[in-house]
Amino acid sequence: MTAPLAGIRILEVGTMLAGPYATMLLADLGAEVVKIEPPGGEISRRVSDSYFASLNRNKGSICLDLNSPEGQATLRKLVAKSHALLVNLKPSAIRRLGLTYEALRRHNEQIVCVAITGFGLDGGDDPAFDYVIQAATGVAALTGEPDGPPTLPGYSSADNSTGLAAALGLLAQITSGRGGQIDVSLRDVMLSQLNYHASAYLNDGVQPQRRPFGAHSYYVPAQIFPTADGYLALFITHDGFWKSFAGEAHIDGFDTMAERVAKRDEVLAATTAALAADTATGWEARLRPLGVPAAAVRTLAEALDATPEMIVTAGDFRLVGNPIRVFGYRPDYRPAPKLDESGSARPVQE
């Protein structure tokens, strides 16, 4: 099967995570992605080889000094025969380097320009790294135990989520058949991801709060529970799940979600006591055949060992593959590019 994005050419002026992650997913699906790197290479090359590989497989690389007339001239040639340009830099740098639709439309009216920034193209240059955004948008305040300090998830959720949103915006504008500017900020993406918490506050005046074991605001029981050995994530979202779980756990009553929410503490106490009778993996094995959403808490290593089908090889590196599965198409995973391997003399094939 022809790759879904075969024939689409994308330029990336990306750094670290959000931008490179977006274009890597598109490259996996067949887009021709050329990574435009400054002299010396993009900064994430100096983090580690495996870090760079995890974000830049399936791309080409061209080294350009966009601060120079020569670099700008080559950029214009690239733009003229590309469908999109995606950049994640400070707004002032994006404008100074002429990486907006307004600056590039004269070279290609159909070019789609995607800008990933911390607070929007008009939001200023304040530092906006992933953890800063998680703190600024309420994510950190919602994470952790109620009596403990605010904390952060152990991965770059703001950068990764913004990369996904940017890829979606890029494809949406290409599909429209028009060029234009797409503006995606880490702040806005994370506020969007707090959708039901924000709606509860904006419409009902309900302040989001941290609950023990990461309990859900609306569903009970839906959180992590200790067991005889290990922890179990249990997610009961409707009465049918509760009936199946309660039958297996020998818990009487609390038949409706409304009752379980009203008697949250009693339900959690009964559930905790019942789960203490078996291990996390034991409960997982018992509940999954019943259709009850439950999983033992595993480490990343354990999760990867359990899902070998998600591990791919790109050059010398084993990586997690693209999560988008197109039936009939299997990505050809190529290694991350060596700096300037595409060469300034032939940056994009005709």
Would you please indicate which residues are annotated as catalytic (active-site) residues?
159
Distance CA 235, CA 219 (A): 8
65-75 in b/e form (b: 16+ CB < 10 A) is ebeeeebeebb
Please give the angle made by the CA atoms of 65, 314 and 349, to the nearest 5 degrees.
45
Locate all alpha helices (DSSP H) within the chain, ordered by sequence: 18-28, 49-56, 69-80, 91-96, 101-104, 130-136, 139-142, 157-176, 186-193, 195-204, 239-249, 257-262, 264-275, 280-287, 300-306
How crowded is the C-beta side of 58, counted as CA atoms within 13 Å?
29
Of the candidates 120, 83, 117, the residue with the CA atom closest to the CA atom of residue 101: 83
How many Å apart are CA 172 and CA 184, to the nearest integer? 13
**DSSP state for residue 7 in the 8-state scheme:** T
- Three-class DSSP labels, 132-157: HHHHHCCHHHHCCCCCCCCCCCCCCH
Cβ contact 110:81 at 8 Å: no
Cis omega (within 30 of 0) on the bond before 91? no
CB 163 within 8 A of CB 184: no
